[in-house]
Amino acid sequence: MSVLVEEARAPGVTRAEIDALLVGLSQPLSSDTSPRERADLLLSLMEDGRIADYTGADGRTVRVAAIQALLALGYPYALEVPPEALEAKARDEGNGARLLSTRKGKVGFGLVTLAGLAQLIPVIAVAATQSWSSWSSLGLTMSLAIAFIVCTTLLPALVTMAGHNLGNGGIKMTGSVWLFIVSLLWIIPSLLGFAAFPLNLIPLAMGGMILAGSMLMHSKD
Phi-psi region of 59 (alpha: psi -120 to 50; beta: other; left: phi over 0): left
pTM: 0.56
Is the omega angle on the peptide bond into residue 82 within 30 degrees of 0, that is, cis?
no
Instruction: Give the Cα separation of 212 and 146 in Å (integer).
Output: 22
Report residue 188: phi and psi, to 5°: -60, -50
Instruction: Give the Cα separation of 61 and 175 in Å (integer).
Output: 23
Read off the pLDDT of residues 30-86 as tens digits, 9 standing for 90 and up.
777 888 988 888 888 888 888 888 888 777 788 888 888 888 888 888 888 877 777
